[in-house]
Amino acid sequence: MIEMNSIIKQKLTDFFGDIPHDYNGSFMIHVGPTTSGFDVEFVFHEDKIIVNKVLPNIDNEKISILLQEIPQRDDIRYDIDQGWLNIVFKTPEPSKDLDALLTILREIYKTFIRLFPTAAWRDLGEINVESLGYEITILSPEYREPIKTGWRNDIIVVMPTNDAWFITNFGKDHVKLPLLSVSIDSKIIAYAPSQENTLVPINLTDILKRVREISQDIGSGFIRLPKDEIDLLLSINELLSLLDMIKASMENITLPLSPVSFKVQDKRKLKNYAEELLKIIETLRRVNNLNELIRRRLAIRLSIELARKMIAREKGVIVSNVRKVSKLGAGRAVYIGKEELKVLPLGEKVLVSVVDDKGKKKIIIEPL
């Protein structure tokens, strides 16, 4: 029994990405961010598994839509209790058939997130986004790390906070860092083309440190120093101003609003600093130029993807209107106006079909 509980506990941990608590044969496990979310309960009986509080804020309309998308099984029963979705899974071997139940739960959570993104963000703290052919899971900032679960996609991103830093399952990133960059051991490494037309790594953290050392050594406190590696890439104009002041000091020229002299008076040392700063500026420009080229190419490809979706929706459309969906018994009714009926008159009966058009489900109404 102890060994079986250990197996169950590990399977639930792998599926939910959190360690369940064992309470005399039942298991409680948290879903959603640690600061919010809810607890799901697994209760094991001799002939069934009961899962309580699978999803919150569920009504008959939502469960009806969910059940249309989820494969139906005779051994599964869905109940709603005070807005909570509960599941009863009948099986002669509950412990051994847990995998089958988790497969059903995987479809429930994936379908819920796809069909009800607003509710999924509120209740689960996550949504799914498709971009350039990738399915990406976006977690709310309340998550401390991109936790893998049985229903999330291969790419998981924690939404950036106010400082724009965010975490993915591929590492730490910033929305303003170059697209071709990486954070390794507290250092930001970007890439730039070399004279041989090959990409070379550029340690932005070391460059930032060196810029600060040069500025402090020559006593240029009047120049705004970049506060981090991201600001460094945006501070080329400030570095150019510092370079101009060094050159002016070497030639005994006084620039407006500049100090009469630097701490360093040795022209040879100032020349070395000037040459070093010039190389740093050129390097930062190469990093920025490459990033801009990548951003433009990415923007073009995203625009093509969006344009295709817009064109596909409009292709062949003669009349298109937004209509309100009204309740009609256990079903729904949609008003078809005279504008549509002028184009396609309807008789007493129509054929209603649900089709899958490249992953997007549509309802088609055809006259008989």
Q: Tell me the domain boundaries of the chain.
A: 2-116, 126-177, 199-310, 325-367
**Residues 304-320, mean pLDDT to the nearest whole number:** 72
Residue 253 burial (CB < 10 Å; 0-12/13-18/19+)?
exposed
| Token pair in block for residue 136 | 């990406």
User: Torsion-angle region of residue 295: left (phi > 0), alpha (psi -120 to 50) or beta?
Assistant: alpha
pLDDT of residue 344: 82
Strand order across the 181-184 sheet: 181-184, 187-193, 199-203
CATH 3.90.120 for the 2-116 domain, yes or no: no
- Do 333 and 325 touch, CB atoms closer than 8 A? yes
Query: Can you tell me whether residue 35 is helix, strand or coil?
Result: coil
Residue whose C-alpha is closest to residue 140's, from 153, 155, 127: 127
| Token pair in block for residue 162 | 């106010």
Q: What is the mean pLDDT of the chain?
A: 86
pLDDT of residue 52: 96
- List Cβ neighbours of 223 (8 Å cut-off, separation of 6 or more): 215, 238, 241, 242, 245
* Cα(269)–Cα(250) distance, integer angstroms: 10
Helix axes 204-218, 267-314, angle to 10 degrees: 140
- List Cβ neighbours of 56 (8 Å cut-off, separation of 6 or more): 38, 83, 84, 85, 123
Q: What is the pLDDT of residues 67-76, one digit of tens each?
A: 888 888 899 9
Q: Name the pLDDT band for 204 (thresholds 50, 70, 90).
A: very high
- List Cβ neighbours of 356 (8 Å cut-off, separation of 6 or more): none
More confident residue, 286 or 61: 286
The amino acid at residue 239 is L
Rg of the chain over all Cα atoms, to the nearest angstrom: 30
* Cα(83)–Cα(241) distance, integer angstroms: 64
Alpha-carbon distance values, 240 to 194, 211, 214, 230 (Å): 22, 12, 13, 17
- Check pLDDT > 80 for residue 64: yes
| Token pair in block for residue 348 | 């007493």
Q: What is the pLDDT of residues 223-246, one digit of tens each?
A: 788 899 999 999 999 898 888 888
pLDDT of residue 3: 63
- Do 202 and 194 touch, CB atoms closer than 8 A? no
